[in-house]
Structure formats: structure tokens, C-alpha cells
Structure 1
Amino acid sequence: MDPHLLRTFVTVVRRRSFSAAAEELGYTQSAVSQQVAALEADLGLTLLRRRPVAPTRAGERLLEHAGPLLLRHRAARADVLRAAAGPAGRLTVAASPLALVPAVARALEPGGPVVTLRAVGRERVAEQVASGDADLGFVDGIAAPSDPLRLPDVGAPAGVRIAEEELVVILPGRHPLARGRGLALAGLADALWLHAPAFVPVERLREVAGGGAFRTGFRYEGHDLRTVVNLVASGHGLALLPAPVAAGASPAATLTVPLTAPRLVHRVEMLCGPLASGEARAVADRLGA
């Protein structure tokens, strides 16, 4: 299958419109229609219903394969270009905002390759590594002590555990629960929470608590930790953060209380793809050791 035709098909399905897909891809609408028709002719199957635009059963099955196939195509291209350029002494690292624990920072040695550190959302770290856009990935999340992080199914390798840290609830200093010795997440389901997807998405709190409202008073879509703790201090909602991070970032107007139930940790995992550069494998080996 021609990857360009496959990319066009995926875009049409995602946008649910031939005209919207044409605008995004920079083609004419007739060119998009011709590309989808060419893909259907290649497979001998109807992949899309036209009115309304929606995948057929065969189209849905193709979509299951399309993401990993397109990512591997991008990864192969990136690897060939990197090999043709020769040793560059450069390293691109994709990391979610709370994934750069001290062990990771030490492994990126000064005087080594030139490092480009790219802060991305958790869901994009695996995609960047699988596609070859990043040599290494570091992703964080909340998990039970014995469970790995759940990563998007994009063909990325399994994560290697790098660090685990205790979790604490950050509250305004005047909050009635701020003086407790420990807090259970289920008991905080009716509290007001700060929704900061880059740090702790409220959806994940509901999931690990087994339900509950977890009301949100403010949504912060940035990557700055100081903003998060200042919003908590100002009464915009509670937050759940790794204990070392909270200790270093919390202003005097906030207090931290350990999370005692359920038993959860903040985990950091490393992703290193099969086409990773020599520099990336050297960092991975240092962390593995």
C-alpha cells in the first residue's frame, strides 16, 4: 500500500470530510477522492461510505493498522536520513513534563552529544519514539507499584522503568484537610481539583479511584509546574504530584499530604526504539546500569 494514499485515507476518516481533508493536506478535493479510490482499487474493497463519510468494516480494520504503518514509514525515513548524514553527535529526547527525574538528567551527560529536549504530552512521547522523530523518550504517569504504564498502541517498544516516587496531595495551607497525616483518594472525590492534563489528568484520578465526581474549577493546559502550584495556592483546586517535585516547587501558601490509598506511585519509564542512534543507546545503557 502506498503510504501517501494511506495517509490521505486516515485524514479523511479523522476529519469526516473529503473537503476538510483536502484543506489540511493541501490537495484539491478531487485529488483526495482519487487517492482514496486508488487505495480502494489496490485492495479491491470499499473503505469509505461517502454520505456521511464513515469507514466501512474493511476501512475500520485498515485504520487499526494505519497508525503503526505510517509511524514505521516515518521511522524508516528518519533512520535512513540519519545514517546518510553520518555521525552527528546529536540526540533528540521527547519527555513528558514530570519525566525528567534526576537519574535521567544525569544520564544526559554534559560534554556528550548535543541534546534537544522536547517537552510533549504523555500520549505523544511513544509516538515520537516510534516514528523516529525522537531518539529517546521518557514518559511519566500514575500506576500501581506492580503495573507498567499504559502507553498508546503506536508500535513503540515497551517502557523500561527508570524511577518510582511517592505521591502527595497539594492543598492550600488553609484547606481543612491540609493538617492530615494521609489522605485517601476516594475521600477526595467531591473536592475541587485543578485539571492539568500535562501533570495529572482528572480522568485518571476518576479511573484509579473507581469513580467519583472529581470536580474541576480550573483547567491549565501548559507545562509549567510553578503555575500549577500557584493555582493550587490560590484556591483553584487540589493537585496530585510526585513528592520530590512537590517539595521543591510548593510555595509557602500550600501544604502537602501523602496519598495513602489506593497504593499508587508516580512512575517514569524510558522508551528506546529499535532504530535508535548510538548516542541514544549509550544513554539507555547508562540508565539501565
Structure 2
Amino acid sequence: MDPHLLRTFVAVASAGSFSAAAQELGYTQSAVSQQIAALESDLGTTLLHRRPVAPTDAGARLLEHAGPILLRLSAARADVIRLSGQPAATVVLGATPFAGSARAAAVLAEVQRAMPRVRFTLLLAGRDAVATGVATGTLDVGLVDGVTAPSDPLPLPDAGQLAASVLAESAALVAFPTGHPLAGRASVGLADLSDATWIDAPDVATPLPQLRALAHSGGFRERFTYQGTDTGGLLALVAAGAGLALLPGPLTHPGVAGVPVTRPRLVHRTELVHGSLTPPARALAEALRP
């Protein structure tokens, strides 16, 4: 299967239009149509309905495979380039909001002072964006955090051969407004909160689908969606009663009380992730390890 044809198929399916995909990819509409026809011929089935443009059942199944396939191809390319030994004039550290702590910023500044000719950048993003960015080479080193069972890995996208090491673990807390009836509890069970309303903040808090998986329960309905990486903004919404969130402790925001989750036992973990490292990126990674 030609990856160029697969990328074109993903672009058309995502845009819902051959003309929009052509504009995005820099092709003519005729070229896009020919590429989709070539892919359908190769696979021996129709992948897209034409009017309106939408995936067929076979096309929907191919879309499920396409994302991981294209990501692994990009990751392979980036990994080979990193191993080529080309000198790095820049190093980009990607971090999720709670992982990009004051310590990470201090370490980054310290390494930059030791290597004044290298330009270091700190970029805050969601977990998937950080892991994908490291795999594809847009980020050199990543700091990711999340809530998981003590013996389980963090739920990250399949982004190729990334090395991961645990930097820290802390308690996983449900963030309540201080006036909530459960805010004074010593602990809570996650499944007991399935009927509560939650803030959907996938780039900062535990995503709602993961909450359901951790609790082995449905529910966890969304009252409010928060898009962004500002932890203070999310905690302000919790304090205002917009909903609950599962976050790392300790929580010191005014109007917010953090209650540990003990059923099931969960931890908040911060991990360092990277592929092949250039010397400046390796120095940064070593400095970030405790």
C-alpha cells in the first residue's frame, strides 16, 4: 500500500471533500481523484462514497489503521534522521501541563546556560501531541504525565520505539469545589462518582473515556469542555462548580479540595520519553532525571 495514497485518502475522508483535500495537499482535484481511485484499485474495494463524500465500511476500517501506520512511518523517518549524527542547533522539550513543572523549567534554563550556542524551547501540549511530536521528530524530548494503575503504563499513542523512564509518582486526586458534600472525605471510589458531572479537559485532566475504563463503569457525563493547557483555568472551573476532574496532587488552588482515589488504587505518573538523542538533547534528558 503506497503511503502517499494513504495520506491522500485520510485527507479526503477528514475534509469530506476532494477539492478541500486537494487544496490542503497542494494537488489538483483531478490528481486527488486519481490517487483515491488507485488506492481503491489496489485494495479491490470502494473506500469513499462520492455524493456526499464519506467513508464506506471498508474505508472506515482503513481509517482506523491509517493513523498508526502513518505515525509509525513518520517516526521511522525521524529516528533515522536523528541517528545520522547531524548537529542540532535547537532542542525542543515538549511537556504536558502538569509535567512542565517549575523544576523542568529550571533544568531547561540550567542546560541552556551550559550550552549557549544551542537554542532550547519549551512547548506545552497534550499527552498525545507530546508523544507524537517526539516520535515524529518535531520534539526532541518529552515529559508526559497521567493517571494510571500502579502496574500499568501511561496510555499513550503507539508512536514507535520511544524510550520511557519514570520521573515521579504522586497521588491521584479528584478535584472537588470546597463546598461539595464529598470535599472533606479522606478518600473516594472512582466508580461511586460515575453519576457526577465532569469537566472534559483531555489535555490537562484524565480524559473521560479513560475514567470509564479505570472505574469499569459507564457514566462520567460531561458538563463542560475545557480546551487548553492552562491548569489554573481548569482549577478555576472546578472551584466554580463546573464539574469534577481527576488530577495529580497536591492541589493548592483556592476553592478546590483534592480527595485521593483509593478504589481502584491509582497513581499520577510523570515520564520522560525520547527516541534517539543528539548530544544536546541527551544532556537535557540526563538533567531531567532525578
**Fold similarity call, TM over 0.5:** yes
TM alignment of 1:89-238, pairs within 5 A: 90-101=90-101, 104-110=104-110, 111=113, 112=115, 113-200=118-205, 201-238=207-244
Q: Is the 8 A contact 2:71 2:136 kept in 1?
A: no
- Which of 145-154 and 133-142 deviates more? 145-154
Aligned-partner Cα distance in 2 for 1:148–1:122: 13
Aligned to 2:12: 12
Amino acid at match of 2:34: Q
- Structure 1 residue matching 2:142: 3-state secondary structure: strand
Aligned to 2:265: 263
Please give the TM-score of this superposition, normalised by the length of structure 1.
Answer: 0.82
Aligned to 2:281: 280
- Structure 1 residue matching 2:70: 3-state secondary structure: helix
Change (3 A) 1:117 1:175: same
**Unmatched tracts of structure 1, length 5 or more:** none
Change (3 A) 1:210 1:50: closer
Q: Is the 8 A contact 2:126 2:204 kept in 1?
A: no
Aligned to 1:67: 71
Task: Figure out how many residues of one structure are paired with residues of the other and give that number.
Answer: 277
Aligned-partner Cα distance in 1 for 2:65–2:199: 39
Aligned-partner Cα distance in 1 for 2:83–2:138: 9
Identity of paired residues, percent?
Answer: 44
Change (3 A) 1:220 1:8: same
Amino acid at match of 1:191: A
Change (3 A) 1:158 1:150: farther
Please give the TM-score of this superposition, normalised by the length of structure 2.
Answer: 0.82
Aligned-partner Cα distance in 1 for 2:281–2:46: 41
Aligned-partner Cα distance in 2 for 1:212–1:279: 46
Change (3 A) 1:73 1:178: same
- Structure 2 residue matching 1:281: 3-state secondary structure: helix
Aligned-partner Cα distance in 2 for 1:54–1:78: 39
Give deviations 1:165-197, integer Å, cap 9, x for gaps.
112222222211112111111221112222211
**Unmatched tracts of structure 2, length 5 or more:** none
Q: Is the 8 A contact 1:96 1:198 kept in 2?
A: yes
- Alignment RMSD (CA, Å): 3.0
Q: Shift of the alpha carbon at 1:149?
A: 0.9
Aligned-partner Cα distance in 2 for 1:78–1:34: 35
Amino acid at match of 2:32: V
Change (3 A) 1:67 1:169: closer
Q: Is the 8 A contact 1:48 1:55 kept in 2?
A: no
Amino acid at match of 2:49: R
Change (3 A) 1:49 1:240: closer
Change (3 A) 1:182 1:45: closer
Change (3 A) 1:207 1:281: same
Change (3 A) 1:240 1:40: closer
